[in-house]
Structure 1
């Protein structure tokens, strides 16, 4: 009899971390009574949910803590057997996630949580795949600066727009993408918003700015016309924004974003996935600062679309 194979099961989780009393990072390891194992918080994706949203929700549900997502820690795969005996493969995406409040309360899925230094956590974890994720977490300092680089959502076609191209607005699908970004971007803890001075760019992030109660600061050197005469000025401005700390959101255009990411990656040696910038897409750029110097790109993760029905690519 042929074995029945189910489609892959998508899931997401995080290395949830905080500073201990001595200023060193510690991570959360949870115990699941159903499996009697110690693991990183994670869980299956719900229908209509993006992978980052799954990671944030599962961390909240299993630990009681509110996470702020950061860089991707990669993807692991392993075989599973469903309750009815069918074979499948589980695919789990992980993020670094800083604690932003909350409290652990034992629940049906998780009956114990321990805060441990990464070395102690690696010993306690039951799965080697979790140790691999923890290794990715410790490869960089935990407190990297996140800059969220967004390409504007879909706009009406240029050849059908008779007015000034700077004023070309979002299309109906673009409005949907902007609404999805309004839900996605807060998972990463943004605190201010910048945009190229194009209506389609500002419309993409105006909902987020409204929710945060902050203005949209226009950045002419991050528009296509402003960037290409002097690309170094645009890259420099992006680094200035990152150097201010916090988690800025920057909305730019498709003719700028791949070049900026390539330049930053080449300068620092950071690995990146294929350099793309689909409309409505997001680059999660993680920067480190050594000795108070200029920010250096340490990681770059690409999310092809904020809409859950579309493929999400990550490094």
Structure 2
């Protein structure tokens, strides 16, 4: 039987500035202009890799927005897939102090009207065209099901006190760079221990104060109250910034109902990133 082709996974971003400029890099080895991107490190999530690669190649720290179509093409014998997002600078977007190196010798903000002519590859021009179809900023809500927890049948105390397993604790730690990639600033969680402990590593790492909410717990959740909470959360995104809501399987359908989405039936530790524009869902992605 023929050998399967090696798979290479990379991640990057189309970084926009006020909808008029896009951030491009020049690679002297290939003499090409492209978007900042790179291969995943061992065990790294694609979202974290996208943010890291942009910062390493340009010096600009970004926050991910809505996802774009992935690129797939051949590199020698290998099949390469590059995952892309629209992104914005989360701090300074000044690249004047960038120090050229053997990998990237030039970084530039290029007017979008000129970028099509500057980009070397047709697939990058297609990705830019897709990004420019959606140049407006979006707001982000991340709906998170708590990580792996002690089985209900083996727990004889109050259910709200049921803790994470060691595997769940590792899941919670791995969530940190994923939530950071979207710049999460508000952390809302069921008051149950297994939910609070799922977001605890992120809160410790970023200094974010969690908001324990009884109505997000299995014991206290009611459809109407949860929907009202989600509605107010979406309305406040402009002030609060990207928000994560961590809760339980029975509560998740109430949240998705309010967002106008089908329940994706998240597994423990999974999340759905929901991108909204003027309160309406324009894109979502499951991780």
Q: Quick check: TM above 0.5?
A: yes
| Matched position secondary structure for 2:124 | helix
Q: Which residue does the alignment assign to 1:29? A: 24
Closer, same or farther: CA 26–302 of 1 in aligned 2, 3 Å = same
CA deviation string 1:247-280 (max 9, x = no partner): 22221222333553365245xxxxx8x8231111
What does 1:1-315 align with in structure 2 at a 5 Å threshold?
6-19=5-18, 24-81=19-76, 87-99=77-89, 100-101=91-92, 103=95, 104-230=98-224, 232-258=227-253, 260-261=255-256, 263-266=258-261, 275-289=264-278, 295-303=279-287
Q: Larger deviation: 87-96 or 203-212?
A: 203-212
Is the 8 Å Cα contact of residues 141 and 274 (structure 2) preserved in structure 1?
yes
CA deviation string 1:115-140 (max 9, x = no partner): 12333222321222212222332222
Matches of 1:80 and 1:3, distance apart in 2: 18
Closer, same or farther: CA 3–175 of 1 in aligned 2, 3 Å = closer
Superposition TM-score, scaled by structure 2 size: 0.88
| Matched position secondary structure for 1:65 | coil
Matches of 1:74 and 1:257, distance apart in 2: 27
Matches of 1:26 and 1:90, distance apart in 2: 27
Closer, same or farther: CA 148–133 of 1 in aligned 2, 3 Å = same
Extract unaligned runs of 5+ from structure 1: 82-86, 267-271, 290-294, 304-315
Shift of 1:8: 1.1
Shift of 1:43: 1.2
Pairwise CA RMSD: 2.4
Q: Which residue does the alignment assign to 1:292? A: none
Extract unaligned runs of 5+ from structure 2: none
Q: Larger deviation: 47-56 or 115-124?
A: 115-124
Shift of 1:17: 2.3
Matches of 2:83 and 2:163, distance apart in 1: 34
Matches of 2:157 and 2:112, distance apart in 1: 57
Superposition TM-score, scaled by structure 1 size: 0.81
Shift of 1:75: 1.1
Is the 8 Å Cα contact of residues 192 and 209 (structure 1) preserved in structure 2?
no
CA deviation string 1:51-91 (max 9, x = no partner): 1122122112211211222222121101110xxxxx12101
| Matched position secondary structure for 1:74 | coil
